[in-house]
């Protein structure tokens, strides 16, 4: 592995970066860093295990096939790829691109308050991802899913060694 790091070291970096993002959830820089690490993991894992232990990459024959396999496991994987690529290229011509925009937006959200759990609303700022079909998702949810997913994959497939 490059720089003497193993795939598990990159997972640790992703977890650390995600913890920093959660402390600053409006930081597009930290969100992009999380996306970049999560997006790089398929190639890093494949480079470490593809030829030495193909069972750990589900007997896929290339890093592209491994990435396609992972996409069947979690759509967040595909979304972080789009966000990472957009941060580098601004415009993508891949037919599989699903993200249209990502931007900081103000929105009304409900909060439970008091012993009666009454819902009140207030305006909050969030990083929002808008997909090509017009649906929106808070980037916090996407990153949480991606990080949770990678931790589960490493545990399930024995990639932490």
The dihedrals phi and psi of 137, each to the nearest 5 degrees, come to: -145, 140
CA distance 99 to 113: 34
pLDDT at 124: 75
In angstroms, the CA 152 to CA 161 distance is 14
Q: Contact at 8 Å (CB) between 151 and 101?
A: no
Please give the helix or strand (H or E) that residue 113 lies within, else none: strand 99-113
Question: pLDDT, tens digit, for every residue of 99-124?
Answer: 887 888 887 777 667 666 677 787 77
E strand or H helix at 126, and its extent?
strand 118-131
pLDDT band for 51, please (50, 70, 90 cuts). Answer: very high
pLDDT value at residue 116: 64
Spatial separation of the C-alpha atoms in residues 46 and 30, rounded to whole Å: 25
């Amino acid at each position: 592995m490059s720089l003497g790091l193993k795939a598990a070291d990159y997972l640790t970096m992703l977890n650390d970066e995600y913890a920093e993002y959660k402390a600053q959830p409006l930081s597009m820089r930290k969100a992009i860093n999380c996306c970049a690490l999560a997006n790089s993991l398929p190639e890093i894992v494949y480079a470490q295990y593809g030829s030495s232990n193909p069972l750990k990459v589900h007997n896929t024959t290339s890093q592209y096939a491994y990435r396609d396999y992972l996409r069947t496991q979690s759509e967040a994987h595909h979304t972080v790829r789009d966000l990472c690529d957009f941060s580098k290229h601004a415009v993508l011509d891949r037919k599989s691109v699903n993200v249209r925009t990502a931007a900081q937006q103000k929105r009304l959200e409900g909060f439970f308050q008091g012993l009666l759990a009454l819902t009140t609303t207030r305006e909050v700022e969030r990083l929002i991802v808008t997909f090509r079909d017009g649906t929106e998702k808070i980037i916090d949810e996407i990153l949480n899913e991606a990080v949770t997913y990678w931790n589960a994959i490493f545990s399930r497939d024995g990639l932490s060694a």
